[in-house]
Amino acid sequence: MSYLVLKYLHVIGACVLLGTGTGIAFFMLMAHRSRDAAFIARTAGVVVTADLLFTASAVVVQPITGLLLAREAGFPLGEGWILLSLVLYGVAGAFWLPVVWMQARMRDLARAAAANGEPLPAAYHRLFRWWFAFGFPGFGAVAGIVWLMIAKPGW
């Protein structure tokens, strides 16, 4: 596979990670602010699907294309910016995996509340606070990786 094709796939993957993450955060926050359990349930259902379809695909593609790109460009995997990128990738994954579970659980809690004509339970609100907090280090790690990918600082 040519270097430019690999680079293209890698950049598209980074765009998908950042774009999907930003979109999901926005739509979940707007649904939450509505306090409408049925709307939250529908939005969270779409969000979970988008995360599994788009984010999960990019999560698989990024390390593969990154490894192949480093090899093609002659960068040793022990290069500082590559190692830091890998650490940040682990951080992003450590925060993303629980977030996917939280989104599915919030969806289920909102569905049950809507079906029973009840307000959102305390468990939903607790999960939302954790979900919101986990977004900062997860998103920050991905943003940091993109910066490292572009700048390739020579430490």
pLDDT digit string (tens) for 34-74? 999 999 999 999 999 999 999 999 999 999 999 999 999 99
Question: Could you list the residue range(s) of the whole structural domain that residue 34 is in?
Answer: 3-151
**Average of pLDDT values for 134-142?**
95
Predicted TM-score (pTM) of the model is 0.90
DSSP state of 120: P
User: What b/e string do you get for 45-57 counting C-beta neighbours within 10 Å, with b at 16 or more?
Assistant: bebbebbeebbee
The token pair at 64 is 């593969």
Residues 6+ apart with CB under 8 A from 3: 69, 72, 73
Q: Give CA–CA dist 59/81, Å, rounded.
A: 19
DSSP state of 118: -
Domain count of the chain?
Answer: 1
